[in-house]
Homo-oligomer: A and B are copies of this chain.
Amino acid sequence: MATITKVSPLAPAGFPDLPVIGGVRFATVAAGVRYQGRTDVMLAVMDLGTSVAGVFTRSATRAAPVLDCQDKIGGASDGPAAILVNSGNANAFTGHYGQTSVAEVTQAVSDATGVPVARVFTSSTGVIGEPLPHERIVAQLEALNGALAPDAIEAAAQAIMTTDTFPKGASAQVEIDDKTVSVSGIAKGSGMIAPDMATMLVYIFTDAKVEQGALQQMLGAMTDRTFNCITVDSDTSTSDSLLLCATGASGVDATGNVAFAEALEAVMLDLAKQVVRDGEGATKFVEIRVTGAASDADAKVHGLAIANSPLVKTAIAGEDPNWGRVVMAIGKSGAAADRDLLSISFGDILVAEKGWVSPDYREEKAAAYMKGQELVIAVDLGLGDGQSTVWTCDLTHGYIEINADYRS
């Protein structure tokens, strides 16, 4: 691993205070899976009555833990549950040995915690193609189980980091029936980030009670509007996993509650944006708002074409208001566009309209805008009502430095 000591310039001021979620406890340990001198394994255990929903990478070369989680999510009941995550090794493309490692680790978690194997979910993130030294994890399980504590979520966020430069957390609280329902989530991810999904691990916990089928449905829809709308480099990991656990400890059934759904989606969007803010080498956080497309799906295709274009991303890195590259990206996206109906704005500055540069456009003004750290590129296609917003970062020397050296 390259030594990445500098925190992203786009990082939040610090890790937020996350509300403790009743029915969830965390523990972490330095098991020496790959890294030395830092924690690299995190265990979360959820009490009886917890629903677990999950969304996973669609990669055809999915890692062994992902395949195991996918098998289990469908059959999950509302008994107790556990999540074990290691960083440093992805246990991906490790043949049959990979499945053995998952079986060893999940059995050890079950033995230590009393959670049935069918309710033990694992994730691994790090290098691909090297056998997971699962015995180093197994050896720590009794200690991990003994250390479980309700307020250790920040430590959990730290243990799952790989090239991340800061731990990521977000929360929300809503009042339902005069009771407070809380949502707290953590995430990791920095490179290999693209929709469907990213090199991203996300764990979200709530003390609301939501039946598993309803929880899974909410999670899928919200993922499409949050984590599947971010991209760092268009590359998709073999390990992406998002698990959402509803413990019910608040005593509030939030199934179908709009305020709860909004709170959950806000936490997901916050975490998704933090992943972009930690994009490898990122110096600018960019929101791309596409409106006036023939459909929402077309708008997202255009948005992602802009967000993934190396030429757009390098122009942003160079603080160059190079709207011609935005035109290029729209043109190549494959979704419907009419050159002469397009308009493009950088922030409040109308750059191009009706197939040409806006008569009021002044390059100096746009160049000054591009010096900001938070940028908005707005595109209106003038075709229909379709819209989508995606988030990305710039492409800099930092990305090359990290990825030409780091074996991930």
Contact = CB atoms under 8 A, between A and B. Distances in A.
A235 interface: yes
Contact of A399 (B95, B314, B322, B337): B314
Contact of A352 (B57, B93, B194, B342): B93
Interface string A301-338: 00000001111001101101011110111111100111
A331 B336 CA distance: 28
B309 A235 contact: yes
A211 B233 CA distance: 46
Report copies per complex.
Answer: 2
A127 interface: yes
Nearest to A354: B95
Contact of A61 (B95, B330, B357, B407): B330
A60 B337 contact: yes
Q: How large is the interface on A (under 10, 10 to 19, 20 to 34, 35 or more residues)?
A: 35 or more
Nearest to A330: B61
Main secondary structure of the interface of A (DSSP, over half): loop
A94 interface: yes
Nearest to A333: B60
Contacts of A61: 327-328, 330-331, 337, 339, 342
12 contacts: A59-B328, A61-B328, A92-B324, A93-B324, A95-B356, A97-B356, A98-B356, A129-B357, A234-B234, A314-B400, A320-B405, A400-B400
Given A61-B327, A337-B60, A403 B318 contact: yes
B339 A93 contact: yes
Interface string A389-408: 00000011101100111011
Nearest to A2: B318
Nearest to A192: B311
A18 interface: no
Given A60-B338, A61-B342, 7 more contacts: A61-B327, A92-B327, A129-B323, A129-B357, A196-B332, A237-B328, A400-B400
Interface in A269-326: 308-311, 314-315, 317-318, 320, 322-325
Contacts of A96: 355
A346 to B, nearest CB: 13
Contact of A404 (B90, B234, B238, B314): B314
A62 interface: yes
Nearest to A324: B128
Contacts of A356: 93-95, 97-98, 129
A333 B317 CA distance: 27
A191 interface: yes
A87 interface: no
A93 B332 CA distance: 14
Contacts of A354: 95
Contact of A320 (B234, B330, B404): B404
Max count, chain B CB within 10 A of own CB: residue among A57, A352, A357, A400 = A400
Contact of A238 (B191, B310, B320, B327): B327
A226 interface: no
Interface string A172-191: 00000000000000000001
A224 interface: no
A236 interface: yes
A340 interface: yes
Nearest to A67: B339
Contacts of A236: 328, 331-332
B395 A400 contact: yes
A318 B405 contact: yes
